[in-house]
Every structure is written in structure tokens, then in C-alpha cells.
Structure 1
């Protein structure tokens, strides 16, 4: 039996032996500690993610009680990732279509602009500034695509950093209050952008509004909320994916050497790291109505904890699942969810993370006392941010007495 509480695994230094144990257990079992049903095997996780019998929120609490009635709670209630039916289907269709229609040359230009801007403000040779650079990249790119100016990006990132605390069950009352204030600021800022978006019919926001009108999706507060959601969903997940890829290269000098010889393989590596050390380690679903599922008697409202990180390493889904394989030909993963609630921004996230890592790996100078060190981040170590579902490295610099 695993001695590590399941919700402590995302921030544990090495959670994967415990995840292996969870995969080896029955298809679904009840965990007294979390009061949730646990599912870890890939095919069962995928089945639940694809079934309308399992909801993203319980019917009795569409908004988490700690933020119900607040501005953050109101925004939360409009997010397509937290809704079912037409609210989810139409909104996802609008976002997916608009993201698929992005001009890639324009996108790459925006990414390059943001990387240059961040690199003027942060020295990525210093651990604390590397953390800020990584965490701000994806949010800044998407905010810039939406039309925010470079001078506004830092404030947008600060608001998003505060707003995402409303998703965490371990946030303090003070953090939840700050999340609500930031929700108001973000909604107001996007409202200002949308009111002027028509002046550029080729802009992402103009195309988004046009698509919403064609589809028949509410383009008022729901559209505003889901623009905020696009930023918040990319925030920690993209930063975690970038950080975990840097750590994978630290652990495998041969892989780092191979990648340095061909940086075009970065997207392949990022997808494999998303499987092997997922930035999103688990997600929840709630039972819609009473029924049997693989011998378990489920009741309406029951919570099911899906261990995505365990499923990704299920040997039944991927050959040599415990190994990180750069040239894996047939990858099966659920890090970006699956089925009805699969992330519409997966391709965008991989493109942003790839560009960010390309910059880091070609720009970093050796900061350790050993200048012959092959890997430019060898002077760093890391811990993981406290989180019940995200694997989010926080880099730190070794002090001389630790070397």
C-alpha cells in the first residue's frame, strides 16, 4: 500500500512509485482519506473522461462553496471547462475554431516579442527570475494575442496569479478574496478590449466574436469569462510543462546532448514530458446518477479522482511507460484531458512552451562554479509548489555550502 496520501503526490519529489501502486490496484476503489473513488488505469480514466455520466462539477454545487456568491465564483460558473451541455459544447466549439484559425506567422511573431520583452525584465540565469519568466510566458503570449499592450502584460500576469487561487481547495480566505478582486479587474479589462476589437477584423478577438455569433453562443459575460479562463488554464499548466521538461533534461545528459544537436525535436520532447511527468497530475469527475461501474456502487454526487499521471504511465497504454522516450511513435496520454473536455489549447501550449525552451536552452550561460558542466541549469535545484493537482517546479540556486 502507498504510504503517501494521494493528494500529496503532485508536489512529492518522486511520486511515481506510488502511482505505479495505484495502477496495480482494482479499476475503481474508495479512498477514505479523500472520500473519493480512485481511478488510475488508463482505459478506465479515458472511459470516465468520455462519458456524460461523469460531470466536471457536482449537480448540487456548480460553484465550489468557498467562492460561491463572490466575483470569482460568478466567473467560475461561466467557464466552459466547468460546465456541461450547450454551455460547454458551444463555447468549446467557438474557442477551438478560433484557436485553429490563428495565423501561425502572427502567433510566432507575438511569441518572439513576448520572449524578448520578458528577457529584458528577467535574468534567466537567476532562479527566482527564471521562475517568473517561465510562469509569465504563456499568459503574456495569449494576453498579447487578445490585444493587451506590452505595458499591460505584467499586471495581467499578477491578476491571473491571484485569480487561479480560487481553483485550489487549499487557498486561504485572503487568497480567495484577492482572487475575486482580480476576477473583477480581468473581466473589466477584457470588456474594454472587446469594445474596441471591431477596429481590427483580423484580430483574434474579432474572429472569436464573429465565430460566437455564427455558432449562437452567448458572446456577453460568458465570452469575457472564458477569455479569462483561456489565460488561467494556460498559466500553471504551461509553466509546469516547461519546468518539468528542463528537469527531464537535467536528469538525462544524453537526451540533452541529442536535443542540442536538433532543437526541432523540442515539440516531441514536450509531448513526452507531458506524458511522463505531467504538469496536471489529477482531475475530478462527479457521478451524475446512481449506478454500477466496474463492480462499484456509485451514488449521484460521488467524487471520482482520476490520477492522470498514473494513467500516463500505465504499462497497458504505453510501451516502457516508466521511461522517457524522445522518439516514442505512438503516445497515449491524458495530460490535456480527453473526450468532451479535452483542452482546446493543447497545440497552442506546445508551440509556446517549445519556443520558450528553445530560447532558454540557447541563451543560458553557465552559472555554476564548474564551467565545464554540460547542462546550463546544473547550478539549480528545485522543490514543487504546494498543490493537490499540479506538478509545478520552483527553481532555487544551490548555496556554496550545499555543493
Structure 2
């Protein structure tokens, strides 16, 4: 195991503990990366002004740079610094905070009641469909947009194959067309508010709406999936949560700390700097192990125990500082409503198998049902 393959290992957490014991910020000569494994190091790197989200020489991954997906990527607020990050964020973040959780719950419940949701759709298709519905799309359009978002998301991984990249470019074009048509006749308070803040830059507006959909697609799928795994692995916990659905919220809050869907993120050093006594040079790459930092005992006592009633819970899973995820509350609302509906339908727990989706930074389980078991 190494700090990258750990993301999809069956149990990377003892390994993360060994990395923390070896030093919070150390250089790995084999990977040619700095590894930030402690809470102190993660905080220092994520808040440092000279630690950027993309390398200066490659603001857009080469594999997608010449196509529609690359042009969208280049405008995403989470992949930029300065005004290209602050301006879209100032328009989108406040609007997301004002979404009523009851509206989210109603949208999720409507999809399940229509019979459209199996486990896979609830985990992957459903969350982005909720965002599309909040933006004013019809149920059929929302389902299509979520499927196209899944195609777009595939291009964001270095593991993507040529066929996936081609599909991502096609999906991006379709998403741009659908969103542009919706912007021209906005009948959604959420969309109208976001449009008002970004009306001077329509390309950035469309790109960051795609970004909102794509972040929801992956982050919420990981949160829902790892919450399901926690329930599968601990029958007592499962019985407690199913008997008292009010425990879903603390379950999700603890799972996003205990076993997050995003295990790591990267930062690229833009100028020579010193962090926690280490001298870093321009062009250096830092792998920030968010999942390891979450289990730092200096951040959370008893870090390797899943505690629903954990006091003063702290987590890096949604980021901190200028690139903190603006949709954390919304993601938790969607995951809560989805998990509640899944539990009402009582999955056949003994028939579920799973594997982690191939990834260099994500920990997203994919479930299947063993027929005849």
C-alpha cells in the first residue's frame, strides 16, 4: 500500500496512522510527493496562500484540454484561484445555504415513490437529479442531466480511458445546451439567484452549474455508500438507526469523518515557502490525506471509533479555507433523505456485495445484489 492506493484499500486507516507517526508532512521520494497526513499539516497546507489547486504549467489536464470538458474544467471555481474562484463562489454558496431541507426531502421522496430508485440510482443518479430539479428541470430532464453528469465526472480521473473522455466531451456539450436553455427561461428561485450573481459571465455560470452537479454526483454517492457500509458492518448500529431515523443525521456526520468518500486531495506549490519547518519549492506537489487527518487523535479523541454522539466533531472531508465545499449542508440533506428512503425499503442486507470504484482519491463503494442468495 502507498498513500495513493490506500484510498480504495479495504482498511487504509492503520496505514494512515503509521504515516502520521512518521511525521505530519514528509517527502515521499518514490512518489515524488510531499505527504500531509496529520491534522496540523492538512490545515497548514489547505490554508496556505501558495498552495494552489492546479499546477501553474497545467491549469487543465492535458487529456481533456482541447475539448468541451476541458473548457468547462478551466472555469470551475474549485479548480481556480483568485477572482475566478471567489466570484462564482460568492454567487453560488449563499444560494445553496438557503435551500430548504424539506424541499430536498420532498424531491427525493417523489423519485422513490415513482419507483425510479434502486440502490444504484439512489446513490448515484438521484443526488444530481435533485440539484437539476432545484434548478427548474422536469423529472425526465433531471434524470438525463444526472446521467450526463456521470459521464462528465469520468473525465476528471487520471484513470479515465479514451472512450470515457470522448463520452465526457459529448456529455459536456449536451449539458451546456440544456443549462443554457434553462437559463434563458429561469423559473427556479435557486437558478434565478445564481444567474443574478454571474450574469456578466455566462460561460462561467454554465461551467459552475455543471461543477455543482458533478461535485454532488461524486461526493454524495460516496457519503451514501459509506453510510450503507457502516450499517452493513455493524448490525447493532443498523438496528438502532432503523428503529430511530433521527439517528441518520449523526450517522452521516460521523461517516463523513470516519470513512469519507474523498480520501485525499492535491495542492501544488506556486512559490517557495516553508510549512511546519519544511522548505517547499515552486512546482512541488502535496498529497493531503484528508481521511488520515480526520483520524488524528489530536483532532478527534477516539478517532477509530464510530460515535454518533461525538462531541465537537471536526473533519477535513469537505475541505477548509478558501476551497471549502459550499454545498456541504445540501449534500448532507440529500444524503439524509436518500438514506431514509433506502432504510424504509429495508434492503436485503445479506445479499449485498460491494467493491470500491477505481480511483486515486475517492472511496466510493458500488453495490450489487447477489441473486438467489
TM-score (norm 2): 0.96
Cα deviation for residue 321 of structure 1 reads 0.1
The match for 2:116 among 113, 121, 124 is: 121
Match of 1:42 in 2: 39
State the match for 1:108 in structure 2.
105
Q: Distance in 1 between matches of 2:102 and 2:364?
A: 30
**Residues 115 and 137 in structure 1, CA contact (< 8 A), matched pair in contact too:** no
What SS does the corresponding residue of 2:155 show, helix, strand or coil? helix
> Structure 1 residues 105, 362: closer, same or farther in 2, change over 3 A?
closer
Q: CA deviation at 1:72?
A: 0.8
Is residue 334 of structure 1 aligned with residue 316 of structure 2?
yes
| CA shift for structure 1 position 219 | 3.6
Matched, 1:53 2:39: no
Query: Does 2:264 match 1:282?
Result: yes
State whether structure 2 residue 194 is matched by structure 1 residue 194. Answer: no
Aligned partner (choices 18, 23, 44) of residue 21 of structure 1: 18
- Give the structure 2 partner of residue 69 of structure 1: 66
Query: 2-side partners of 1:278 and 1:176: how far apart?
Result: 26
The 5 Å alignment of 1:352-363 reads 352-363=334-345
Secondary structure at 1:169's aligned position in 2? coil
Q: Hey, what does 2:93 align to over in structure 1?
A: 96
Q: Is the 8 A contact 1:114 1:141 kept in 2?
A: no
SS of the equivalent of 2:103 reads helix
- List gaps (5 residues or longer) in structure 2: none
Q: Quote the residue 1:389 is aligned against.
A: 361
The root-mean-square deviation of aligned C-alpha atoms, in Å, is 1.6
Q: Is the counterpart of residue 294 in structure 1 residue 276 in structure 2?
A: yes
Preserved CA contact (<8 Å) 2:354 2:366 = yes
Deviations 1:38-62, CA, capped at 9 Å, x for gaps: 1110121012111211100111111
SS of equivalent residue, structure 2 residue 350:
coil
Matched, 1:167 2:153: no
Given that 2:222 and 2:261 are in contact with CA atoms closer than 8 Å, whether structure 1 keeps it comes out as yes
The residue aligned with 2:351 is 379
**Which stretch of the first structure deviates more once superposed, 133-142 or 29-38?**
29-38
In structure 2, what is the Cα distance between the partners aligned to 1:95 and 1:115? 28
**Separation in structure 2 between the aligned mates of residue 131 and residue 37 of structure 1, nearest angstrom:** 36
**Distance in 1 between residues matched to 2:266 and 2:352, nearest whole Å:** 33
1:86 corresponding residue in structure 2: 83
SS in 2 for 1:75: helix
Identify unmatched segments of 5+ residues in structure 1. 125-129, 366-375
Structure 1 155/395 Cα, relative in aligned 2: closer, same or farther at 3 Å?
same
Change (3 A) 1:103 1:237: closer
Q: Does 1:150 align with 2:122?
A: no
Question: Which residue of structure 2 lines up, in the alignment, with residue 206 of structure 1?
Answer: 192
Aligned length: 373
The alpha-carbon deviation at position 114 of structure 1 amounts to: 2.9
Is the 1:57–1:82 contact (alpha carbons within 8 Å) kept by the matching residues of 2? yes
In structure 2, what is the Cα distance between the partners aligned to 1:331 and 1:311? 13
Contact 2:101 2:333 in 1 (8 A): no
Q: Does 1:265 align with 2:254?
A: no
For the 8 Å contact 2:257–2:317, the answer to whether it is kept is: yes
* Kept after mapping to 2: 8 A contact 1:13/1:383: no
